[in-house]
Amino acid sequence: MQTYFLIAATLLYILCAVLPSRLGAAISAATAAAWLLHGASLWLGVLTPGFLRIGFATMLSSALWISVGAYWLENRNFSLDGLRRIVMPPAAAAVALQGLFPGALLALDDSSATLGWHVAIATLAYSTLTIAAFHAVLMALQESRLHTRGEGASFFSAALDQLPALLTMEKLLFRLIAFGFALLSLTVLSGIVFSEQLFGKALKWDHKSVFTLLSWLLFAALLAGRHFRGWRGKTALSFTLAGFATLLLAYVGSRFVLEVVLHRGIA
């Protein structure tokens, strides 16, 4: 059943990316259907009786699932048709990767309740900040496009031209970062509780903990700089991408090396 959901979601995402803008109702319906199928495939893939499936492809797929949901909701308030053409292809690729690299199974025991909440909050945090990173890159490309408007008419440049104004994009970016930072803070706190229950100490100093805390500090510095110094533009972009990169290394990057390069399970 999950395989059929994965295939259907992938095809619908591709369809959503290529449909002409005038078919707004059809695009909205197809996006909703693809998103629901994508969510069902995640549910069936991650939750196995007595086990929890974790992997780099699952994390990427979850991030893109959140991205599509955010696009679908925000498109009701802003004209984000250009964002549709940018988000849908990676979403299709993430769903396909989930089928190719399902991840490893982690047995659940008495700590399952704590672990489940920790994984759920962490996934939401990673997904939200992934969206923020993509959003920041789009803003940089959009700003660059303002200086080259009229030069070329590629699919990607046309999509950039349809994005909202930069000030609107900036407001959306910092909303995403603030929400993601709150979730990341909860991830760190729940991780401390989980580590104390499982290992008998408040924090296990492995690569995941170090990179997660470093990411937290970078996003905290960005929000503080935004509030007290009015940071924006290239400074905001640099901090956003640096925070996202360290967060990526904390889990997704290490999982990719273990699963794809070294062919190992949960570490």
Give residue-wise pLDDT tens across range 78-133: 777 777 888 899 999 999 988 888 777 666 665 555 666 777 788 788 888 888 88
Reported as a single tens digit per residue, the pLDDT across 6-54 is: 999 999 999 999 998 888 889 999 999 999 999 999 888 877 666 677 7
Task: Name the average pLDDT for the chain.
Answer: 79
The 3-state DSSP class for residue 75 equals coil
Reported as a single tens digit per residue, the pLDDT across 42-54 is: 888 877 666 677 7
- The answer to whether the beta carbons of residues 5 and 41 sit under 8 Å apart is yes
State the pLDDT at residue 262: 45
State the pLDDT at residue 84: 83
The 3-state DSSP class for residue 50 equals coil
pTM of the model: 0.72
Q: Give the separation between CA 19 and CA 64, rounded to whole angstroms.
A: 19
Nearest alpha-carbon partner for 161 in 179, 143, 173: 143
One DSSP character per residue, 234-265 reads HHHHHHHHHHHHHHHHHTHHHHHIIIIIS---
- Domain definitions of the chain by residue range: 1-108, 111-267
Q: Give the separation between CA 194 and CA 113, rounded to whole angstroms.
A: 10
Residue in this structure with the two tokens 């046309």, named with its chain if needed: 158
- Residue 233 CA, distance from chain mean position: 22
- The answer to whether the beta carbons of residues 9 and 65 sit under 8 Å apart is no
Higher pLDDT, 227 or 102: 227
Largest alpha-carbon pair distance within the chain? Answer: 62
Q: Give the separation between CA 11 and CA 227, rounded to whole angstroms.
A: 43
Reported as a single tens digit per residue, the pLDDT across 193-216 is: 766 555 555 566 666 778 888 999
